[in-house]
Amino acid sequence: MYIHELQDWPRFRWDREGLTEPLAAVRHRQGRLIGRMEALGFNLRQEAVLHTLTADVLKSSEIEGEKLDAEQVRSSIARRLGMDIGALKPADRHVEGIVEMMLDATRHYDQPLTADRLFSWHASLFPAGRSGMTRIRVGAWRDDSTGPMTVVSGPVGKEHVHFEAPAAARLDREMQAFLDWFNAHADIDPVLKAGLAHLWFVTIHPFDDGNGRLARAIADMALAGSENSPQRFYSMSAQIRPERAAYYDILEQTQKGRIDITPWMDWFLGCLGRAIDGAQTTLAAVLAKARFWEAIAGVAINERQRLVLNRLLDGFEGKLTTSKYAKLTQCSQDTALRDILSLVECSILIRNPEGGRSTSYTLVTAAPLTSVDVVPHQGHQPLRRRGAEGV
């Protein structure tokens, strides 16, 4: 029997005492990371949010086997955050829709989750009304007109059914119960609420497709509520992506198990802890930039110099010359040279060995920092399913 067929569904149980220690550990990591980010200036915090949300959108789609254009995603998020990141790459409406859905979930975490809001998110995920080549119901619960909602893997004729969702006739009742619970002030830690919401929603599987991404967006919404902040500095999806096989396995085991969901909650807390720890790597460039500006806090820097130094910290292509400096800051060659020599005198820039017209300059730091690292699509292949995401 699937979990939604059990007599006690959806009266979930878990070992509260057994989860006390891992929950406290995650809450401690959460607090430390947020405290560290709040110590940064506004611009660096915004940059950290841009890094995190970009990774979150990319990885949540990769979990389902879809690879988005990273620059389109980054540009779309930057526009919505009102950030100036230089040349913005136009994003197609599919990317814009995914970004819009994710930002609505996290920036408006304190607003009720309703059926209409979910329908709007779903329509944003599938602006053309299709999943691949297949037409699907958009902005409405599935009707199972082509058969039960199942998640399968394996070649045609040898499919293995991992999960079968509740029948479409139950969806109105099931989703109302879920939404009532989610919007109520339940006696549950908000982090545990995120884990339970993720499992509950993906088990109901109310849409023809997109259920996995929507479940992760709902979990992110609950996590934003746990911090009482729309700013995101870590990504569950970015951590689930390399653990995708384990993610699918624990979901399948839970959905074929008992109403006691302790193993799922324990896995969710562990994955969340690893996501928070992983933020140190994802945000390394932002944190290094913060350390750089702290180190030169006593040096008088004009706006032209600040602009160029930030470009160098972000990973400047090629070598910095007076010509490039003048072009970037729209100043004269003489002004560019004076600015550069001032930074050399302060030991912020160093002159490279080549001279003459080839004279170039480098930051007196480690190698230039880069933006969000996008892991190539590899490893465990996504499950094949009839209009479904997640198990």
Is 211 flagged in the annotation as binding?
yes
Is 65 flagged in the annotation as binding?
no
Nearest one of 386, 381, 279 to 66, comparing CA atoms: 381
What is the distance between the alpha carbons of residues 70 and 87, in angstroms, rounded to a whole number?
14
Nearest one of 76, 92, 145, 121 to 214, comparing CA atoms: 121
**Where are the alpha helices (H) located in 67-170, listed in sequence order?**
70-81, 93-107, 115-125
Q: Which listed residue (51, 122, 162, 205) is catalytic?
A: 205
Is 325 flagged in the annotation as binding?
no
Is 2 flagged in the annotation as binding?
no
Angle of helix 244-255 relative to helix 262-282, nearest 10 degrees, comes to 160
The token duo for 44 is 């660096």
Is 213 flagged in the annotation as binding?
yes
Nearest one of 209, 215, 216, 238 to 383, comparing CA atoms: 209
Is 247 flagged in the annotation as binding?
yes
- Please, which residues have CB within 8 angstroms of residue 278's CB and are 6 or more apart in sequence? 234, 238, 239
Helix, strand or coil, per DSSP, at residue 302: coil
205 is catalytic: yes
The token duo for 116 is 């209409």
Is 84 flagged in the annotation as binding?
no
Give the containing element (helix H, strand E) for 349. Answer: strand 349-351
Nearest one of 117, 278, 111 to 201, comparing CA atoms: 117
Is 212 flagged in the annotation as binding?
yes
Is 383 flagged in the annotation as binding?
no
What are the binding residues for ATP? 209-216, 247-248
What are the binding residues? 209-216, 247-248
Give the active site residues: 205
